[in-house]
Amino acid sequence: MAETLNIVFVLFPNLTQLDFTGPLQVLSRLPGSKVYLAAKSMDAIPTDAVLTLNPTCMFSDCPPADVLCVPGGFGVDDAILDEELMGFVKREGARAKYVTSVCTGSYILGAEGLLNGKRATTHWAYHEALTDVGAIPVKERVVRDGNIFTGGGVTAGIDFAFTLAAEIAGDEFAKALQLGLEYDPAPPFDCGSPGKSTNEALDAMNQRYRPRFEEFRGKLALAMKTQ
């Protein structure tokens, strides 16, 4: 019988739902997995896309994590200033076998010093701030450095989850899982990263992200001062 594998997702308001639900779909199928959705309270958590999430435990009573997974989203701005959430991440990050993030969730890890000197990635629009948390920026969809696994923006969380699944359960299990989930991407446009994007699409996304990025970076600096 497989040993129990405690997979803990950190929930906070206004997270990007696919940062969470993509990896959840994959990792919840690992042998012996038991998934915990940890939050400050048992209140429903609003996401960025109508869907609300129901925590299964609070930070105060969550079992020790074997896998700690932190999603991203615009809610990271406030999450990095939340002492209870950050204390939980620091505690679990120090003892989890695998410490992971998707998208801007990397900054929740980084603001607690967990990425210091580590190779890491995040959403392309936020990539340049990785040095603010002592990380070594790597422009790849999935980056591993020791027991730290970071995924790029949003959909990269699915690739991250399969990478971690292979690490935990082996390549053949991960391949079978990929087949079972029919994960065989064939997007209608080859425009999913800045290097492949049209100028029009890139301009539109820069207009969306740049003002938010500057505000985020100010909050990140404040969070780093309280480390």
Interior/surface letters 29-47, b for 16+ CB within 10 angstroms, e for the rest: bbeebebbbbbbeeeebbb
Q: Check residue 104 and report its DSSP letter.
A: G
Provide the CA 182 distance to its chain's centre, in angstroms.
Answer: 22
Q: What is the per-residue pLDDT for 226?
A: 75
User: Which residues fall within 8 angstroms of residue 42, CB to CB, at 6 or more apart?
Assistant: 54, 55, 58
- Cα(first)–Cα(last) distance of the chain, in Å? 41
pTM, rounded to two decimals: 0.97
Q: What is the per-residue pLDDT for 225?
A: 80
CA-to-CA dists, residue 49 to 1, 15, 25, 150, angstroms: 38, 9, 17, 23
Q: What is the per-residue pLDDT for 2?
A: 56
The alpha carbon dihedral of 80, 85, 90, 95 has a sign of negative
**From the candidates 57, 62, 69, 103, which is the catalytic residue?**
103
Q: How many domains does the chain have?
A: 1
| Helical (H) or strand (E) element with 179 | helix 171-180
Q: What is the per-residue pLDDT for 1?
A: 38
CATH number, domain of 140, equals 3.40.50.880
Tokens of 216: 């985020």
Is position 57 annotated as part of the catalytic site? no
Residues lower than pLDDT 70 in the chain: 1-2
Q: Give me the domain span that covers residue 66.
A: 5-225
